[in-house]
Amino acid sequence: MTSLKDPPERLTRFYGNTDYALDVIANRQITFVHISTLNDPFDPYFFMETDFRENYHELIKFVRTHHPRDLGWFQQHITPLSWLSTIKALKEKIESYRAGTFIFAASGDADGRHPRDSLYMWGHYGNGHRGVAVEFNTHEITRACLKHHEDLNGSAPSSDKLWVEISYSTNFAPITAANVYAFLKQEYEFNSGRITERASTELEDYYARIVAVKGDVWKAEREWRLMWKNDQTRMKIHKCPIGADAIAALYLGYNLSEAHGDDFIFEARRQFPQAKVLRAKKRHGDFALDFEEL
């Protein structure tokens, strides 16, 4: 799991597939999905890219030009063979991370507007308003995930700050030769005893960011996510039990059938008695929704 800042008190997830949503409500569990099932092939941005094409001679050229005094130790400790091994190990690490990473995503307020008011989210993720939106209590979801982790592993994770806030960008700058040089210099100085502690470098920042950045075309989603690592399964989902207080509200889509709506109302009253259940209605004379509590 990735540790960052605290999320908002409430986050909302849209479900276009009512069977998936009913599974949450009726069985009191959330589902982490494998990243290979996401609709954006650049999410997460698990690409090993440099501005020198990982070419050893270009890296040496950079050091010779910008840090000539360090060229001796650099060539001695970073050989063509060790460099190839380093690149291979980095790419294998990324592939391993990709193979075992599952996510649970939800949306926060956008410019003060609740996700339930977004016609874009209802249209795109809510299957043309035929689905539902579930508003989660993030504190309770965090508590459920911590307990689930402890039940599975016999110990709590290293941090209780589990949520990742997604940032949005038009591009993702590759790793520079300067980034690599700074990282390798620090390793050299640490291993030789010249320094006693490592500091975070821009190379670590790059790898921390690849799990938390998306193209700005998705900016309207204001996404937060939980990430789960599971190397023990080939399934594309991972289930996590949640408590009766984990859901604050359930929003039924404007085009959700009455029969499906009755199913959700029944299960919500049974499993999440404190949660509000509201149905979307067209606002008179406007491109907007109002919600009636049931």
Residue whose C-alpha is closest to residue 213's, from 94, 93, 3, 40 = 40
pLDDT (tens, 9 = 90+) of the chain, 294 residues, equals 444 678 999 999 999 999 999 999 999 999 999 999 998 999 999 888 999 999 999 999 999 999 999 999 999 999 999 999 999 988 898 888 888 999 999 999 988 899 999 999 999 999 999 999 999 999 999 999 999 999 999 988 878 889 999 999 999 999 999 999 999 999 999 999 999 999 999 988 888 888 899 999 999 999 999 999 888 777 889 999 999 999 999 999 999 999 999 999 999 999 999 999 999 999 999 999 999 999
DSSP 261: H
How distant, in Å, are the alpha carbons of 38, 44, 58, 217, 243 from that of 126? 15, 22, 49, 18, 24
CA 202 to chain CA centroid, Å, is 20
Give 65: exposed, middle or buried? Use CB within 10 Å, 0-12, 13-18, 19+: exposed
* Residue for token pair 């929704």: 289
Contact 35, 103 (CB under 8 A): yes
Tokens (6 digits) for 112: 């003060």
Instruction: Specify whether the CB–CB gap between 1 and 149 falls below 8 A.
Output: yes
